[in-house]
């Protein structure tokens, strides 16, 4: 499966079909327009990925913005190897990891173990989860341990190949295949009672 390409938006159109490498070279030189073009090019993929990772559309939007800000701050150290997408998704993944750690700490110290999860009650206006079946599946994906969730979402949702995920996550392909398989197994186990009930 190939990675889908998004149509260039207004900000990006000024740069035509400029490559990621060309745009990043301009970003390193401090050109905000080139940075805006990169944001336009990747924003939908990043927000979709983060929505599946967190199960929450609003958090995905915030984390997506932070992802691009961190990309800009680290642009000076960027070395062109044709892996800009991998870098952006790695930043996004690290943000999810950091936020989940912070949430666990906050919950532990505030003894707030029964906190209402914001993603279980999505706002109707968001248009994210159209029915209960989708909501259950989306939440089950977001509840997977991070080591299973990242390769599963990149593979199933973003359409990355196993070798590409292995390269981005700096793991062996066998490890990625195993984690995807175990992620699917866990999803089946958590959704089986619901699906057996015929509600899906």
Partner 1 sequence: MTDRDLSKRIRDLPRETARQDFTQRVLERLEEDTAPGAEGWSWKPTLAIAAAALVFALIPFAAWQLDEGHTSTGDAAELQALRAEHSQLQDALQELTRGLSSDAGERVVYLGGDDTLDVVFDPSPVATQMQPASYTMPAGGARR
Which stretches of the chain bind partner 1, using CB under 8 A?
9, 11, 32, 35-36, 39-40, 43-44, 46-48, 51-52, 57, 60-61, 64-65, 68-69, 72-73, 127-128, 130, 134, 137-138, 141, 152, 156-157, 181, 184, 187-188, 191-192, 195, 200
Q: Which is nearer to partner 1, 112 or 157 (CB)?
A: 157
Nearest-angstrom CA–CA distance, 157 and 165: 12
Q: Which is nearer to partner 1, 49 or 107 (CB)?
A: 49
Q: Which is nearer to partner 1, 127 or 197 (CB)?
A: 127
197 contacts 136 by C-beta, under 8 angstroms: no
For residue 24, the Cα-to-chain-centroid distance in whole angstroms is 21
- Of 32, 40, 45, 46, nearest to 16 (Cα)? 40
Tell me which residue has tokens 């279980």.
120
Q: For the chain, how big is the Rg over CA atoms in Å?
A: 18
Q: Which is nearer to partner 1, 26 or 52 (CB)?
A: 52
Shortest Cβ distance from residue 112 to partner 1 (Å)? 27
Q: Which is nearer to partner 1, 80 or 192 (CB)?
A: 192
Token pair belonging to 160: 């990355």
Shortest Cβ distance from residue 114 to partner 1 (Å)? 27
Shortest Cβ distance from residue 109 to partner 1 (Å)? 20
Tell me which residue has tokens 């301009």.
26
- Of 60, 21, 55, 56, nearest to 41 (Cα)? 21
């Amino acid at each position: 499966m190939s990675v889908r390409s998004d149509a260039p938006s207004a900000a990006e159109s000024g740069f035509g079909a400029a490559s990621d490498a060309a745009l990043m070279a301009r970003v390193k030189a401090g050109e905000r327009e080139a940075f805006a073009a990169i944001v336009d090019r990747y924003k939908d993929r990043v927000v979709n990925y983060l929505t599946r990772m967190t199960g929450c559309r609003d958090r995905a939007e915030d984390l997506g913005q932070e992802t691009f800000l961190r990309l800009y701050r680290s642009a000076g150290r960027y070395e062109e190897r044709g892996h800009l997408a991998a870098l952006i998704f790695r930043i996004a993944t690290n943000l999810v990891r950091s936020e989940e750690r912070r949430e666990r700490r906050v919950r532990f110290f505030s003894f707030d173990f029964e906190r209402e999860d914001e993603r279980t009650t999505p706002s109707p206006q968001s248009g994210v989860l159209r029915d209960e079946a989708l909501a259950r599946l989306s939440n089950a994906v977001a509840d997977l341990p991070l080591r299973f969730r990242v390769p599963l979402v990149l593979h199933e949702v973003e359409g990355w190949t196993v070798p590409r995920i292995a390269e981005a996550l700096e793991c062996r392909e066998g490890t990625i295949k195993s984690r995807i398989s175990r992620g699917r197994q866990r999803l089946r186990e958590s959704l089986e009672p619901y699906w057996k009930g015929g509600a899906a």
